[in-house]
Amino acid sequence: MPELPEVETVGRALRPQLLGRSIRTISAHIESLRHPLTLQQDASLCGAPVAAVTRRAKYLTVALANGRGILLHLGMTGHFRIEPADSAHRKHDRLEFFLDNDQVWRFNDIRRFGIAKAVNVDAAGNPLEGLPALGPEPWDPAWGGAALHTWLSRRIAAIKPLIMDPRCVVGVGNIYASEALHRARISPTRPGKSLSRKACDRLVCEVRKTLEEAIEAGGTTISDFRGVDGSEGSFEQELLVYGRADAPCLSCEKGTILRSVQGGRATYSCAKCQR
DNA sequence: AGTTGAGCCTGTGTGC
DNA sequence: TGCACACAGGCTCAAC
Ligand SMILES: [Zn+2]
């Protein structure tokens, strides 16, 4: 379920639990997630203390003090739990990391779109390999209205799938793309190149604000997202359009929220206040 | 080079 | 109750 705010929330919950701990053993309950799993055979991941937990886009890295680390992606349905090592594992627990404090960190992923891979890390705990080509983080000073306007200038595709393209900016998934476009009063079907510089400024501003507020709220809980401690995010209450098909628009009170499909994904918008 | 659609998996909910 | 289909928060690849 996770977009950037959910991944950030999970990383923040994981960090204090894992820092200073080391892994005793790793066991895999399945051969592969998105890719074949091999990290359970990698002795370099065991014994070294966790030095950092970092996030880049929707990837988390658990970095060890020996320059190795675990690159993780939650896919659509991934989540983590940390619980006593003698507790029973659950259906769809795919990986178990047994820690040196008699706790176990479990990676549960129903649909197996997740990633868990051993990588080399730098001194700051960032992965040295394993990431695809990624655009800037939403808060990167190098990203902004000007950069977005330039990136869109030769693109005729609809703005909604474009703002979700991680080569443009990372972290904007299907929920927050609809939400940020609504807040910026931009129709999701407009060709990318048709956005004015001012519209790009508004969109950048609303992407940042929406993601910040969602992180503040601990993410959005839809169906199966839960924090590492089992808690739920509260941003669902703040959603203006996502999942509200046929309901009255909360922004203009004249329109009705329309559900459409773009690139095979649901889009929600108000035709009255988004142009 | 950019755009579109299919595919990867499993589960849930709906309608017939 | 059984069955078929649509849909779900992400990402990658092939074809046009
Ligand atoms: Zn409206």
DSSP-assigned letters across all residues of A183-231:
HTT--TTSBGGG--HHHHHHHHHHHHHHHHHHHHTT----TT---TTS-
Q: How far apart are CA A226 and CA A230, in angstroms?
A: 5
Of residues A38, A174, A32, the one with CA closest to residue A109: A32
A144 CA to C3 C1' distance (Å)? 51
Report pLDDT digits (tens) over A191-232.
999 999 999 999 999 999 999 999 999 988 655 455 577 667
Cβ A143 vs Cβ A245: under 8 Å:
no
Positive or negative torsion for Cα A4, A10, A14, A16 = positive
CA angle, residues A274, A184, A202, in degrees to nearest 5: 135
- Please measure the distance between the N-terminal and C-terminal CA atoms of chain A and give it in whole angstroms: 29
Cβ A45 vs Cβ A39: under 8 Å:
yes
Is the Cβ atom of A132 within 7 Å of strand C at any atom? yes
Q: Helix/strand/coil (H, E, C) string of A51-82?
A: EEEEEECCEEEEEECCCEEEEEECCCCEEEEE
Residue A248, token pair as written in the block: 């009255």
Is the Cβ atom of A185 within 7 Å of strand C at any atom? no
At residue A253, the pLDDT reads 84
At residue A46, the pLDDT reads 98
A225 CA to C4 C1' distance (Å)? 28
* Secondary structure element (H or E) that encloses residue A12, with its range: helix A4-18
Cβ A222 vs Cβ A179: under 8 Å:
no
Residue A267 has pLDDT above 70, yes or no: yes
Q: How far apart are CA A261 and CA A275, in angstroms?
A: 17
Chain C nucleotides close to protein (CB under 7 A) are 7-12
Q: Which CATH architecture has domain A4-120?
A: Alpha-Beta Barrel (3.20)
The DSSP call for residue A29 is S
Cβ A112 vs Cβ A30: under 8 Å:
yes
CATH of range A145-270; options 1.20.1740.10, 3.40.50.620, 2.40.160.40, 1.10.8.50: 1.10.8.50
Band of the pLDDT at A117, cuts 50, 70, 90? very high
Does A58 participate in catalysis according to the annotation?
yes
Could you tell me where in chain A the CATH 1.10.8.50 domains are found?
145-270
Could you tell me where in chain A the CATH 3.20.190.10 domains are found?
4-120
Interface confidence (ipTM) of the complex: 0.94
Report pLDDT digits (tens) over A154-198.
999 999 999 999 999 999 999 999 999 999 999 999 999 999 999
Average pLDDT, chain A: 95
Q: How far apart are CA A117 and CA A36, in angstroms?
A: 9
At residue A72, the pLDDT reads 98
| Active-site option among A21, A112, A259, A265 | A265
A79 CA to C16 C1' distance (Å)? 37
The neighbouring-strand residues paired with A36 are A32
Q: Tell me the percentage of chain A whose pLDDT exceeds 90.
A: 92
Chain B nucleotides close to protein (CB under 7 A) are 1-11
At residue A1, the pLDDT reads 58
Report pLDDT digits (tens) over A10-66.
999 999 999 999 999 999 999 999 999 999 999 999 999 999 999 999 999 999 999
